[in-house]
Chains A and B, each alone.
Chain A
Amino acid sequence: MSLLTKVGASLFEVIDPELGVNIMDLGLVYGIEIDDEDNIKITMTLTTPGCPMHDSIKNGVQYQVSQVEGVGEIDVNIIWEPAWTPAKMSEKAKEMLGFS
């Protein structure tokens, strides 16, 4: 399994506490970049700017990725553009939230 796949898989363990759905299925993660030294850069958003869970979710991502063997430095970059929309959710997430 590649490092990229492992990092992606680890993020399924970070659950949005308000919605009860993991951040991957919610479509909050926009990109995972890995450089030559296996440093990881996660570009992600939240369902709303100024989400009260901002730091909690960011810390959760940081921790989960740090548990993946072989990763270097971790940078979690939260952005608001492009803004998250419900269209970014997986079918599973839509079903869980009764939105389908």
Chain B
Amino acid sequence: MMPGANMKIDTDIRLPLSFILYGLLALVISQVILFVSNDALLTGHFRIPDIWMGAHFLLLGYAVMVAMGAMYQLVPVAFLTPIWSQKFGFVQLGITVIGVTAFAILLGVNPDKAIFGGIIAIAGILMFIFQMVMSIWNQEKKTMMTYFVIGAIACFFLTIIAGFLLAWNISVGGIGNHNTILSTHILLGVAGWFTLLIFGFSYKLVPMFSLSHGFSMKWAKPALLTYVIGLIVLISSFWSSREIGQTIGWGLLFFGFGFFCLDIKDILSKRVKKKLDKSFSFALLAIINGLTIHALALIFRLVGMNDSIVWSWLIFLYIMGWIIFSILGYLNKIVPVLWWTYKYSEKIGKEKVPLLKDLINEKANIVLFSLFIISVVGLTLGALAQYGLVVVLFQGILTIASLLYTISIIRILFL
């Protein structure tokens, strides 16, 4: 018998749900900030306090907090090991919420003091890393999923070290290579932490949501190794200023992502559920987006495209089209499971209970996810073509979509 078969692995629902609800609030705040700062978006000037604030509410407040909440729920079920300490988790939640909120706001209103919020946020993140390492440490049989998540956590740790150095430089100064540290911070954060984390959990979630069996996962190891080596090569090229290193690095990231896609394709080809949910399909669309963006990055490197505005928008697409879309899709599946388990788990078999699909409004999801796709495409094209009105319009649609998405998730909690 596999370990954990008869082990109780439930996490107190209030813990993941609190992270997720804060994340949704941060998503709406981030989009409102970006909507108000649409003139900066139009000129491609992302390195100003307002955009820092919006970006950090989006990435730290939404994406990181939701990822943390999802991990509190998924690590026990995916790795068959309980969370090391749920009490510690609640303390970590409080500290991280205070830190992330203070840090994001200070970046926008008083960057010189952002370091103080940053220190609290870092404390919360370090507590999270400690919690996860202790939990995963207890997993009896490590799998490829474990190694993806360990890789993601390692990148997360390095991301916050680099982030701390940046915040220190803004507040106090004195550390050289600010731009190189910034590039390293962005790459480790978005490509290292988020991508490796989504890869790892996709190996659990894609078969689970498509009810797939008999797949091989034979590309998992090459995907992990190639992607991690790609990250190392790319970061090395930032520090050594060797152009060829960037091309090789992006090439490796593309192939790493491609190997992951081969496994996902195999998993989906062996699925039992022929009709997939809209939320899950949206998360799968994000994978296609991710592969396309990696391919574009490699092509841009090969043809010598160095326009900083184009690269800024490519990073925006990487964050929105791949990371945020993945999280939006998966979250819309995870929250109903959480809520169903909380509300109906004790009633199953005793009385008629709703099915999971009864908690999900598929028609509304079609509209919502269409709005996200249209707004991200429109926003990018409008900004690249320098049409101010188009940028305002599509950022407005994105803000409304984020608000409606948040309402749709909260609605589940009243069913």
Contact = CB atoms under 8 A, between A and B. Distances in A.
A61 interface: yes
Interface in A53-73: 53-57, 59-64
Contact of A98 (B275, B341, B350): B275
B349 A14 contact: yes
Give the secondary structure class of B's interface.
loop
B349 A63 contact: yes
A84 B272 CA distance: 12
Given A17-B355, A50-B79, A56 B345 contact: yes
A77 B6 CA distance: 7
A85 interface: yes
Contacts of B354: 17
Interface string B76-96: 111110000000000000000
Contact of A54 (B77, B79, B344, B350): B77
A64 B9 CA distance: 22
A48 interface: yes
A18 interface: yes
A18 B355 CA distance: 6
Interface in A18-69: 18-20, 47-57, 59-64
- Of B2, B9, B80, B344, which is in contact with the most chain A CB atoms at under 10 Å from its CB? B2
B265 interface: no
Contacts of B273: 19, 97-99
Contacts of A20: 355, 357
Contacts of B356: 17-18
A9 interface: no
Nearest to B10: A55
A56 B350 contact: no
- Of B78, B80, B348, which is in contact with the most chain A CB atoms at under 10 Å from its CB? B348
Nearest to A60: B349
A54 B9 contact: yes
A74 interface: no
Contact of A64 (B80, B275, B349): B349
A80 B1 contact: yes
A49 B213 contact: no
A79 B5 contact: yes
Interface stretch (B30-38, B113-121, B163-171, B203-211): B203-211
B115 to A, nearest CB: 40
A32 to B, nearest CB: 15
B307 interface: no
Interface string B336-352: 01001100111011100
Interface string B203-226: 010011001011000000000000
B274 interface: yes
Contacts of A14: 348-349
Contacts of B2: 49, 79-81
Contact of A55 (B73, B211, B345, B349): B345
Given A17-B355, A60-B349, A81-B2, A55 B8 contact: yes
Contacts of A49: 2, 5, 80
Contact of A56 (B76, B204, B272, B344): B344
B337 A52 contact: yes
B266 to A, nearest CB: 15
B353 interface: yes
- Of B1, B79, B345, B356, which is in contact with the most chain A CB atoms at under 10 Å from its CB? B345
Contacts of A81: 1-2
A22 B180 CA distance: 57
Contacts of A15: 348, 353, 355
A80 B354 CA distance: 27
A17 B348 contact: yes
A79 B1 contact: yes
B5 A97 contact: no
Nearest to A99: B272
B274 A51 contact: no
A39 B76 CA distance: 31
Nearest to B145: A50
13 contacts: A50-B80, A51-B77, A52-B341, A53-B337, A59-B345, A61-B349, A63-B349, A64-B349, A78-B5, A80-B1, A97-B211, A97-B272, A99-B272
Interface of B: 1-2, 4-6, 8-10, 73, 76-80, 204, 207-208, 211, 213-214, 272-275, 337, 340-341, 344-346, 348-350, 353-357
Given A15-B348, A19-B211, A97-B274, 4 more contacts: A14-B349, A17-B353, A85-B213, A86-B213
